[in-house]
Copies of this chain bind each other. A is one copy, B any other.
Amino acid sequence: MTIPHPHPVDFMELALRQAEAAAARAEVPVGAVLVDPATGEVLAADHNRVEEWHDPTAHAEMLVIRAVATSRREKRLPFAELYVTLEPCAMCAAAISFARLRRVHFAAPDPKGGGVLHGGRFFEQPTCHHRPEISGPTTAEAASAELLRGFFRARR
């Protein structure tokens, strides 16, 4: 019996569910899932916890990278792929590079705070020593952007 791998969009759906959970807890709604694409296993799933933890570094991407790296006792995860609902910021882009992630899938671009397509474009710098493959914006862009718009609209 072969176990079919979930289609990649399923992982982004999981990331979107995490983003919704963040919004329900008054966190900026961004979710992330770290996956082993060879097995289809979800290694970690989390969302922003900046407010809950009073931690300015507690972005969804940082949390899933730290959870998997520390639990496996491996500072580099070159087999792993990240699904995240928003373009990573400069902090998270650098962390993705340090962790040697194989690929990053992001749903919505982030002109105000992104660090992949915007700002310092970390992966394009000579100070970047590992560049993951990039997939994004994806077809989940509209769903992610609508979550973020709704969140900030409610707070105005």
Q: Which residues of A contact B (CB under 8 A)?
A: 50-51, 53-57, 62, 65-66, 69-70, 72-76, 89-95, 98-100, 111-115, 118-122, 125-129
Tell me the smallest distance from the CB of A49 to a CB of chain B, in Å.
Answer: 10
Q: Which 10 A-B pairs have the closest CB atoms?
A: A120-B120, A119-B127, A91-B94, A56-B98, A119-B125, A90-B94, A54-B73, A56-B99, A91-B91, A56-B75
Taking a contact as CB atoms closer than 8 A, the residue among B54, B56, B76, B91 that contacts A90 in the complex is B91
B62 & A57 in contact (Cβ 8 Å cutoff): yes
Taken together, the copies of this chain in the complex come to: 2
Given known A112-B127, A122-B90, contact A95–B57 (CB-CB < 8 A): yes
Contact residues in B for A57 (Cβ distance below 8 Å)? 57, 62, 65-66, 95, 98-99
In the complex formed, the residue of B with least CB distance to A98 is: B56
In the complex formed, the residue of B with least CB distance to A113 is: B127
Q: Taking each of A50, A53, A57, A111, which has the highest tally of chain B beta carbons within 10 Å of its own beta carbon?
A: A57
Contact residues in B for A65 (Cβ distance below 8 Å)? 56-57
Taking a contact as CB atoms closer than 8 A, the residue among B51, B112, B114, B119 that contacts A122 in the complex is B119
